[in-house]
A = this chain, B = another copy of it.
Amino acid sequence: MINDKLPKIWYGGDYNPEQWDSEVWSEDERMFKLAGIDVATINVFSWALIQPDEVTYDFSALDETMDRLYKSGVYVCLATSTGAHPAWMAKKYPDVTRVDVQGRKRTFGGRHNSCPNSPTYLKYSAKLAGKLAERYKDHPGLLIWHVSNEYGGYCYCDNCAKAFRVWLKQRYGTLDNLNRAWNTRFWGHTFYDWDEVVVPNELSEEWNGNRTNFQGISIDYRRFQSYSLLEAYKLEYEELKKHTPDIPVTTNLMGFYPELDYFEWAKYMDVVSWDNYPSLDTPVSRTAMAHDLMRGLKSGQPFMLMEQTPSQQNWQAYNSLKRPGVMRLWSYQAVARGADTVMFFQLRRSIGACEKYHGAVIEHVGHEHTRVFRECAELGRELVGLSDKLLDARTEAKVAIVYDWENRWATDLSSGPSVALNYENEAHKYYDALFKLHIEIDMISVEEDLSKYDIVIAPVMYMVKPGFAQKVEQFVSAGGTFVTTFFSGIVNENDLVTVGGYPGELRSVLGIWAEEIDALFPDQKNQMVMKAPWGKLQGQFECGLLCDLIHSEGAEVLAEYGSDFYKGMPVLTVNKFGKGHAYYVASSPEASFLEGFLSNLCEEQGVKPLMAAPEGVEVTRRVKNGMSYLFLLNHNADPATVEINSEKTDILTGKIVSGSLTVPGRGVSILEEAF
């Protein structure tokens, strides 16, 4: 349990009373009660209010808010306010603002605007965290700490350049090692002095956001900036822990956000929390995958849904309303996949600046007689009813998909073979097929223990870091099923190619050699022709994007290319390795192939779908104390019927169900039974 002061699914969200006059506050309290809101995230952007100048700290307003909320039954997720520095600080200490990727020194503005290597920022952010912890350590309303906000963005200033060199010295020890790791003899880049190293931005090696002359330098800079921001976070974390060792600490993450290596970050977070902002046209399985990734950051530990919008966003191009029922549906989707909180941005809608069209529990109209408020209040009541039943429940997936931020950086930055390659999309293709099969999935890091899984899928495992190939071999040897794809096993952690034949370190377990990699134009396609019917797979399937031209070195060929000069070469292989099997999918297949393929693998490994369900019905499960909770989430607008093969209790209605169960359009059932 995140904090047993509030032993239920927390319900609430961001709250900014400082933007309102005090007469509004009592109205807030009244409506919070109506909506069953029991947690408020406060103090997210109040640095300038709390610290109006370098020496003054004024907590009086925050004191009042803390007390007021607590008295009205609302606990606090207390932010440290360091997500945006004060204007006076930017003016007095310009080191606090960033230099952007174009090399431009920023003045003052925006948020997430502090250089993570600014001495000023590090000093005063830590100091503020410490003061907050000291002041509120005994406040009964304090539930959890929320450090800064949505960390992100890179800085390219001189302080960062200096810190980068220090980081490089620690990583590489000598310039010789660095020159080798970056292959600097290419294009005459040999460095003879650490100070010759400059930051890789548009003034040196990069352009167009993800193009670079030196992948090694650019990947290291991403590592370094992710590290720098994490170090800034950790300074605050330590200040908080000094005073409140038992209060959990988090910061809100952003799903697949590319710039930070969240697996590294999660090591220093007591609980993962994240902000979920799908659009009307985001596939529901993409959101599900993000939840599973967030759960995977700490190996299955429940997480917080820190932010979602009650209805509308403002940052999207076309900010659709969430259709009736969708907010509840997506809230339960989060819970189904590991969330122990349901929280919004925000509780009361702001009236000025860029997020004023971001929806809120309390809309601009200010009263409770809105569709949005009614839906929020209904959900609030329901969550009270669920009490602590689901808290800390776990997911028991036997199938895992490997996701790796450094691998993403490496594939994003690669010059060739195809600009169309998108690591996240390829992972999602596999995820989506499993999702449709109603198979439970874990999203895992390359550091995860594989032995708990029956099937491990590592799409586009381009960068193979030390020890990973051995781990895969042990996993397969022991009977596991491993799947990887085209453009895998190519480089090591420094983005240096493993010579001797692709897929490099994975070649042995896969039993193949990839001689060449063809890149297809968007309108070019090839085919995967099954050599023989295999379970749900027969005939041929379309594929494209990249086509590895592979040779079997012991692997059995299951399908061959159907056209072009490599017609007849293997496109799908399986290698028996020890007690297990390693599959290689040499191109990017159409969805119907993946559904059949993964269905076959699950059948082989005895991994069963949670249940049969119509299209658009998401099925997933959490387990706890010997009970299982099966979530049926009907994403269709129309009702859907499923067959329940044994009596279960719907904990939302309290009814016992069996046989045909009709879930309303956008409806949810949570079915409890012994596990």
What residues make up the interface of A, taking CB atoms closer than 8 Å to B? 16, 18-19, 45-49, 52-53, 81, 83-88, 90-91, 102-111, 181-193, 195-200, 202-205, 212-216, 280-281, 311-321, 323-324, 349-358, 363-366, 370-372, 414-420, 494-502, 513, 515-522, 549, 564-565
B195 touches A364 (CB 8 A): no
Counting from the closest, the 4 A-B pairs by CB-CB distance are A183-B352, A314-B416, A109-B204, A357-B416
Q: Which residues of B contact A185 (CB under 8 A)?
A: 16, 18-19, 45-46, 49
A315 touches B366 (CB 8 A): no
CA gap between A521 and B316 in the complex, in Å = 11
Residue from A187, A205, A521 having most chain B Cβ neighbours under 10 A: A187
What is the minimal beta-carbon distance from A6 to any residue of chain B, in angstroms? 27
A81-B188, A91-B195, A212-B354 are known contacts. Are A205 and B109 too (CB-CB below 8 A)? yes
A188 touches B352 (CB 8 A): no
B108 touches A497 (CB 8 A): no
12 A-B pairs (CB sep. < 8 Å)? A46-B185, A84-B187, A108-B204, A186-B352, A312-B517, A356-B415, A363-B515, A364-B501, A365-B500, A365-B501, A365-B513, A365-B515
Q: Which residues of B contact A190 (CB under 8 A)?
A: 48-49, 52, 86-87
B45 touches A186 (CB 8 A): yes
CA gap between A504 and B376 in the complex, in Å = 24
What is the minimal beta-carbon distance from A505 to any residue of chain B, in angstroms? 13
Q: Which residues of B contact A212 (CB under 8 A)?
A: 354
Which residue of chain B has its CB nearest to the CB of A204?
A: B109
What is the minimal beta-carbon distance from A168 to any residue of chain B, in angstroms? 14
A106 touches B186 (CB 8 A): no
Known pairs A53-B192, A87-B197, A91-B193 / 18 extra A-B pairs, C-beta < 8 Å: A16-B186, A19-B186, A45-B186, A48-B190, A107-B199, A186-B355, A312-B417, A315-B415, A317-B419, A318-B419, A319-B418, A351-B496, A352-B496, A357-B416, A364-B497, A364-B500, A365-B500, A371-B516
B320 touches A45 (CB 8 A): no
CB within 8 A of A417: which of B52, B109, B319? B319
Which residue of chain B has its CB nearest to the CB of A311?
A: B516
Residue from A52, A193, A321, A355 having most chain B Cβ neighbours under 10 A: A321
Q: Which residues of B contact A187 (CB under 8 A)?
A: 45, 84, 110-111, 353
B499 touches A364 (CB 8 A): yes
Which residue of chain B has its CB nearest to the CB of A520?
A: B318
B352 touches A565 (CB 8 A): no
CB within 8 A of A88: which of B53, B196, B519? B196
Which residue of chain B has its CB nearest to the CB of A315?
A: B415
CB within 8 A of A350: which of B186, B189, B521? B186
Residue from A110, A352, A419 having most chain B Cβ neighbours under 10 A: A352
Q: Which residues of B contact A494 (CB under 8 A)?
A: 352
B192 touches A87 (CB 8 A): yes
Which residue of chain B has its CB nearest to the CB of A108?
A: B198
What is the minimal beta-carbon distance from A222 to any residue of chain B, in angstroms? 16
A104-B203, A190-B86, A204-B110 are known contacts. Are A415 and B213 too (CB-CB below 8 A)? no
A312 touches B521 (CB 8 A): no
CB within 8 A of A317: which of B85, B88, B314, B418? B418
CB within 8 A of A107: which of B111, B204, B517? B204
Q: Which residues of B contact A351 (CB under 8 A)?
A: 183, 496-497, 499
Q: Which residues of B contact A107 (CB under 8 A)?
A: 198-199, 203-204
Which residue of chain B has its CB nearest to the CB of A111?
A: B187
A281 touches B521 (CB 8 A): yes
CB within 8 A of A189: which of B84, B205, B497? B84
A495 touches B49 (CB 8 A): no
A417 touches B182 (CB 8 A): no
B354 touches A214 (CB 8 A): yes
Q: Which residues of B contact A564 (CB under 8 A)?
A: 323
B321 touches A91 (CB 8 A): no
Q: Which residues of B contact A47 (CB under 8 A)?
A: 188
Which residue of chain B has its CB nearest to the CB of A357?
A: B416
CA gap between A372 and B565 in the complex, in Å = 13
CA gap between A213 and B353 in the complex, in Å = 6
A182 touches B353 (CB 8 A): yes
What is the minimal beta-carbon distance from A354 to any residue of chain B, in angstroms? 4
What is the minimal beta-carbon distance from A64 to any residue of chain B, in angstroms? 15
A351-B183, A352-B495, A364-B501 are known contacts. Are A193 and B324 too (CB-CB below 8 A)? no
Q: Which residues of B contact A364 (CB under 8 A)?
A: 497-502
CB within 8 A of A213: which of B105, B109, B417, B420? B109
B314 touches A417 (CB 8 A): yes
A19-B183, A188-B45 are known contacts. Are A196 and B108 too (CB-CB below 8 A)? yes
CA gap between A147 and B183 in the complex, in Å = 23
CA gap between A318 and B200 in the complex, in Å = 25
A109-B198, A312-B416 are known contacts. Are A519 and B352 too (CB-CB below 8 A)? no
A190-B49, A190-B86, A312-B416 are known contacts. Are A516 and B321 too (CB-CB below 8 A)? yes
Q: Which residues of B contact A549 (CB under 8 A)?
A: 321, 371
B321 touches A518 (CB 8 A): yes
Which residue of chain B has its CB nearest to the CB of A52?
A: B192
Q: Which residues of B contact A522 (CB under 8 A)?
A: 318
Q: Which residues of B contact A106 (CB under 8 A)?
A: 203-204
Which residue of chain B has its CB nearest to the CB of A545?
A: B318
A105-B203, A499-B364 are known contacts. Are A183 and B353 too (CB-CB below 8 A)? yes
Q: Which residues of B contact A84 (CB under 8 A)?
A: 187-189
CA gap between A478 and B22 in the complex, in Å = 40
CA gap between A95 and B35 in the complex, in Å = 58
B353 touches A521 (CB 8 A): no
What is the minimal beta-carbon distance from A85 to any residue of chain B, in angstroms? 8
Q: Which residues of B contact A186 (CB under 8 A)?
A: 16, 19, 45, 350, 352-353, 355
B416 touches A324 (CB 8 A): no
What is the minimal beta-carbon distance from A655 to any residue of chain B, in angstroms? 27
What is the minimal beta-carbon distance from A549 to any residue of chain B, in angstroms? 8
B372 touches A516 (CB 8 A): yes
Q: Which residues of B contact A202 (CB under 8 A)?
A: 104
CA gap between A215 and B314 in the complex, in Å = 13
Q: Which residues of B contact A318 (CB under 8 A)?
A: 417-420, 519-522
What is the minimal beta-carbon distance from A58 to any residue of chain B, in angstroms? 12
